[in-house]
């Protein structure tokens, strides 16, 4: 076994108990220990004279213990020790809680470095529970690690120190090839690991840090490149693309330039002999469905079946209708969802198996049930962010390496989509169909309710329809408007003269469909709903979106919601109601009022929330990063990307001996996060 894989228990100073604590921090092996990076450093290299301190400072004081440490246990589980420290400029009182070891270590007349926050108490300087170092100790900077109860900073530092000793004895290689280190002026792995934990100077730490950020992004990019290769397999599916012209002439509108380009991208992919793996990324309402329809048409006209998966049943049904309308009687569209009766399902499956069904639209049912395709050629996944990378590949397995098209409305800052969807080729639809109007958006507090209701009534009287979205279904959380009771209240009071409908995720699929159908038909004028309406629903006559407790939603989610209106030629509105206090909350809603551009909103979201949240929730199947920050380290990211391409071009599967450690790191990064399997 390699030293890197040794269990933490074999590190000096780690017994069973500590091993348990370390595992809590995700440290299971020597590898994990040396890659557990500090989040900050305490500076012991610069000392401040006591007389120059300011109350509230966090500082390092070099001083002599002026009297024996006194104190002890004051009650069960609680001890206090006191002494004073002097440095010739002034005197500082020291209080130590619950740390007998530290109290015993301090000797009268000896000099130490005390690091901590200083306060002024009754006219005297005071420091409580400082970190203490010997002045001749050669650790000028103290790493600060995320800790867990029962494991002190000092203990963890010592454990990591021991792990580093093992590492530098046995793991002397470097996973970044020497020529790339030279090209990008990166320090050696051993230097980097030593100096990220125990830097001699902050400059050394910065050099180490840059190398480790590069390394992490480099490993990530190499992994993505492997995934991409893995996806891009030869396919025997041959597509005649000429027929698409017939489809385009059927369309009731002129395609935008961006739509044309996306369709061309797909058709070109069909010609390569490799299976397509393409993401079509475009803001809500940019017209992604037509792009998918063109690809499905080409496939069906070449004798293959196409499948389209949607995240919800409502959306699947709507897609099926849209596609059938676009295709007319030229193609047979079959719907397969969990909501069908047993008999309907049986017939649908029969048609899918014998090839009568040329286009199949469905939900997860397409994956989970025993659906046999006659000749599956293309899989389209709508709203990719709802599906994991894994589900995507499961459907791929149903056919003979079918082509894959993913559609996403999550506007990700352009540069980042390269990384997130690194395993896919990307077409961006960055143009809205002509005649779309800006949706006027306002952020107000709940004192505006009467005026909002009056505005809603005015629009309904003019024959338009509106949505009111609430964050919760039932009254479980206080302060949150629940869709159920709110719909009841509105229909009894402010909107007693109007037809109010209710839609939420806990309703049966049948009921939901009925409500959506009624809303689409204009039977329902005002729809009170939870975010089930978020995705894809298209009712052009709906011109107002009111969102209650808007602070509860992510910016991109609000943008998606807003995209449900403004689908026709009428002027449309979005009103965000929130009583949340605080600057960030206000800034977030303000960002939505200012722009309708999903990419700008994504940028704002990223800035205000930080990438941690943005990429959180394993939605993208992207590994969690330890040290790199996708936003701040953008430049390094580009370099790491170029470097990874260089390596992969030379060794596409990372099989060469010199890339052994690199491959190992890639597998670790992806495995640890349960991300897509790599092989
Ligand atoms: P999304 O990208 O959000 O999935 P859709 O495909 O649902 O958008 O399209 C939104 C609406 O715009 C649909 O009603 C569709 O028919 C219409 N549409 C799509 N492309 C065009 C176009 N080029 N010109 C006019 N309307 C279009
Ligand atoms: Mg759509």
Q: What is the CATH number of the domain that holds 118?
A: 2.40.50.140
Residue 247 CA to residue 293 CA, distance in Å, equals: 9
Q: What is the CATH number of the domain that holds 479?
A: 3.40.50.300
Determine which residue's CA is closest to atom 15 belonging to ligand 1.
287
- pLDDT for the residue 398: 59
Using a 6 Å cutoff on CB, does residue 598 contact ligand 1? no
Do both 460 and 546 map to the same domain?
yes
Closest CA to 139 of 188, 204, 206: 204
Instruction: Supply φ then ψ for residue 299, to 5 degrees.
Output: -65, -50
Average pLDDT over residues 152-156: 87
Q: Is 577 helix (H, G, I), strand (E, B) or coil?
A: strand
State which of 389, 408, 427 marks the end of a domain: 408
**CB crowding 346-362: b at 16 or more within 10 Å, else e:** ebbbebbeeeebbbbbb
Q: How many whole angstroms from 285 Cα to the centroid of ligand 1?
A: 5
Average pLDDT over residues 262-290: 91
Any idea of the CA torsion for 65, 67, 68, 74, to the nearest 10 degrees? -100
Q: What is the mean pLDDT of the chain?
A: 87
- State whether the Cα torsion 445-450-453-455 is positive or negative: negative
Determine which residue's CA is closest to atom 25 belonging to ligand 1.
433
Residue 569 CA to residue 117 CA, distance in Å, equals: 62
Determine which residue's CA is closest to atom 18 belonging to ligand 1.
287
Q: How many whole angstroms from 276 Cα to the centroid of ligand 1?
A: 23
Do both 259 and 367 map to the same domain?
yes
Strand partners, 71: 81
666 part of a folded domain: no
Do both 249 and 373 map to the same domain?
yes
Q: How many whole angstroms from 431 Cα to the centroid of ligand 1?
A: 11
Do both 451 and 562 map to the same domain?
yes
State which of 595, 626, 646 marks the end of a domain: 595
Using a 6 Å cutoff on CB, does residue 255 contact ligand 1? yes
Strand partners, 573: 440, 544
Average pLDDT over residues 268-274: 91
Any idea of the CA torsion for 217, 221, 222, 226, to the nearest 10 degrees? 150
Residue-wise pLDDT tens digits, 572-611: 999 999 998 887 788 889 989 998 888 788 777 777 765 5
Share of the chain above pLDDT 70, in %: 88
Show the tokens assigned to 485.
Answer: 């009771």
- pLDDT for the residue 44: 87
Residue 231 CA to residue 158 CA, distance in Å, equals: 44
Do both 121 and 266 map to the same domain?
no
To the nearest 5 percent, what fractions of the chain are helix, strand and coil? 45, 20, 35
- pLDDT for the residue 675: 46
Using a 6 Å cutoff on CB, does residue 285 contact ligand 1? yes
Question: Which residue has tokens 């309904």?
Answer: 460
Do both 24 and 167 map to the same domain?
yes
Residue-wise pLDDT tens digits, 429-480: 988 888 777 899 999 999 999 999 999 999 999 999 999 998 876 656 545 5
Ligand nearest to the CA of 562: 1
Tell me if 428 sits within 8 A of 412, measured CB to CB: no
Residue 279 CA to residue 222 CA, distance in Å, equals: 20
Range of the domain at 6: 1-41+143-172
Do both 571 and 444 map to the same domain?
yes
Residue 105 CA to residue 610 CA, distance in Å, equals: 42
Higher pLDDT among residues 676 and 301, named by residue:
301
Expressed in angstroms, the distance from the first to the final Cα of the chain is: 21
Residue spans of beta strands (DSSP E) within 558-606: 573-577
Question: Which residue has tokens 């990591």?
Answer: 160
Ligand nearest to the CA of 288: 1
Tell me if 545 sits within 8 A of 529, measured CB to CB: no
State which of 595, 615, 638 marks the end of a domain: 595
Task: With a cut of 50, say whether residue 678 has pLDDT above it.
Answer: no
Number of domains in the chain: 4
- pLDDT for the residue 555: 83
- pLDDT for the residue 64: 96
Enumerate residues with CB within 5 Å of ligand 2 (an ion). Answer: 536
- pLDDT for the residue 676: 46
Alpha helices in 521-564 (DSSP H): 555-562
Residues in the chain: 679
Tell me if 51 sits within 8 A of 180, measured CB to CB: no
The DSSP bridge pattern shows strands 542-547 and 573-577 to be parallel
Tell me if 127 sits within 8 A of 118, measured CB to CB: yes
Q: Which atom of ligand 1 is nearest to the CA of 256?
A: 23
Q: What is the CATH number of the domain that holds 9?
A: 1.10.150
Pocket test for ligand 1, best of 257, 260, 285, 408 (most atoms within 8 A of CB): 285
Q: Write the DSSP symbol of residue 443.
A: E
Residue-wise pLDDT tens digits, 52-98: 999 999 999 999 999 999 998 888 888 999 999 999 999 999 999 98
Q: Which residues contact 154 (CB under 8 A, 6 or more apart)?
A: 131
Instruction: Give pairs for 198-205: CB < 8 Å, separation 24+.
Output: 198/139, 198/141, 198/143, 198/161, 198/164, 199/41, 199/140, 199/141, 200/138, 200/140, 201/45, 201/140, 202/41, 202/43, 202/141, 205/41, 205/141
377 part of a folded domain: yes
Do both 35 and 102 map to the same domain?
no
Do both 36 and 162 map to the same domain?
yes
Do both 2 and 84 map to the same domain?
no
Show the tokens assigned to 445.
Answer: 């507090």
Do both 90 and 130 map to the same domain?
yes
Q: How many whole angstroms from 317 Cα to the centroid of ligand 2?
A: 12
Tell me if 273 sits within 8 A of 234, measured CB to CB: yes
Pocket test for ligand 1, best of 250, 259, 287, 563 (most atoms within 8 A of CB): 287
Residue 592 CA to residue 443 CA, distance in Å, equals: 9
- pLDDT for the residue 383: 67
Using a 6 Å cutoff on CB, does residue 292 contact ligand 1? no
Show the tokens assigned to 137.
Answer: 């100790």
Do both 465 and 585 map to the same domain?
yes
Task: With a cut of 80, say whether residue 11 has pLDDT above it.
Answer: yes
Residue 618 CA to residue 96 CA, distance in Å, equals: 43
Q: Which atom of ligand 1 is nearest to the CA of 435?
A: 25
Using a 6 Å cutoff on CB, does residue 289 contact ligand 1? yes
């Amino acid at each position: 076994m390699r030293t890197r894989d040794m269990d933490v228990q074999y590190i000096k100073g780690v017994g069973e108990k500590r091993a348990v604590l370390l595992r809590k921090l995700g440290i299971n092996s020597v590898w994990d220990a040396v890659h557990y990076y500090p989040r900050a450093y305490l500076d012991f290299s610069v000392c401040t004279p006591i007389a120059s301190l300011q109350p509230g400072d966090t500082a390092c004081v070099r001083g002599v213990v002026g009297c024996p440490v006194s104190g002890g246990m004051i009650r069960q589980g609680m001890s206090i020790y006191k002494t004073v420290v002097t440095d010739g400029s002034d005197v500082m009182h020291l209080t130590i809680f619950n740390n007998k070891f530290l109290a015993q270590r301090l000797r009268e007349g000896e000099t130490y470095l005390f690091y901590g926050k200083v306060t002024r108490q009754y006219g005297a300087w005071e420091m409580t529970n400082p970190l203490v170092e010997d002045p001749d100790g050669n650790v000028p900077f103290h790493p600060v690690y995320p800790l867990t109860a029962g494991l002190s900073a000092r203990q963890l530092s010592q454990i990591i120190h021991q792990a580093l000793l093992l590492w530098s004895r046995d793991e002397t290689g470097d996973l970044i090839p020497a020529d790339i280190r030279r090209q990008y002026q990166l320090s050696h792995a051993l230097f980097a690991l030593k100096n990220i934990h125990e830097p001699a100077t902050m400059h050394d730490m910065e050099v180490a840090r840059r190398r480790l950020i590069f390394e992490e992004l480099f490993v990530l990019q190499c992994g993505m490149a492997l995934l991409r290769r893995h996806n891009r397999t030869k396919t025997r599916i041959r597509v005649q693309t000429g027929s698409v012209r017939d489809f385009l002439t059927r369309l009731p509108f002129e395609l935008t330039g961006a739509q044309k380009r996306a369709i061309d991208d797909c058709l070109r992919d069909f010609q390569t002999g490799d299976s397509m793996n393409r993401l079509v990324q475009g803001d809500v309402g940019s017209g992604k469905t037509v792009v998918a329809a063109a690809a499905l048409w080409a496939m069906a006209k070449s004798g293959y079946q196409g499948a389209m998966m949607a995240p919800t049943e409502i959306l699947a049904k709507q897609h099926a209708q849209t596609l059938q309308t676009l295709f007319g009687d030229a193609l047979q569209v079959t719907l397969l969802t969990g909501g069908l009766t047993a008999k309907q399902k049986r017939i649908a499956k029969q048609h899918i198996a014998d090839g009568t069904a040329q286009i199949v639209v469905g939900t997860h049912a397409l994956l989970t049930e025993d659906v046999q395709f006659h000749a599956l050629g293309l899989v389209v996944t709508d709203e990719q962010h709802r599906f994991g990378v894994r589900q995507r590949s499961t459907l791929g397995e149903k056919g003979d390496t079918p082509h894959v098209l993913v559609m996403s409305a999550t506007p990700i800052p352009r540069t980042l989509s390269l990384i997130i969807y690194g395993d896919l080729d990307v077409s961006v639809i960055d143009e809205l169909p002509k005649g779309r109007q800006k949706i006027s958006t306002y952020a107000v507090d709940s004192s505006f309710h009467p005026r909002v209701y009056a505005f809603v009534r005015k629009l309904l009287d003019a024959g338009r329809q509106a949505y009111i979205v609430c964050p919760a279904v039932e009254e479980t959380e206080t302060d949150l408007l629940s869709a159920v009771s709110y719909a009841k209240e509105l229909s009894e009071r402010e909107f007693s003269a109007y037809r109010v409908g209710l839609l939420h995720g806990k309703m049966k699929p049948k009921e939901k469909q009925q409500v959506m159908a009624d809303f689409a038909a204009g039977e329902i004028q005002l729809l009170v709903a939870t975010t089930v309406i978020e995705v894809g629903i298209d009712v052009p006559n709906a011109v107002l979106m009111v969102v209650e407790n808007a602070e509860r939603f992510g910016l991109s989610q609000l943008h998606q919601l807003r995209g449900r209106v403004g689908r026709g030629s009428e002027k449309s509105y979005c009103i965000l109601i929130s009583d949340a206090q605080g600057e960030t909350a206000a800034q977030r809603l303000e960002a939505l009022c200012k722009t309708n551009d999903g990419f700008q909103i994504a940028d704002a979201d990223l800035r205000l929330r930080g990438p941690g949240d943005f990429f959180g929730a394993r939605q993208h199947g992207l590994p969690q990063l330890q040290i790199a920050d996708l936003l701040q380290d953008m430049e390094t990211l580009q370099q790491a990307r170029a470097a990874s391409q260089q390596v992969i071009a030379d060794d596409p599967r990372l099989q060469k001996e010199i890339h052994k450690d690199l491959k190992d790191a890639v597998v670790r990064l992806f495995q640890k996060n349960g991300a897509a399997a790599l092989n």
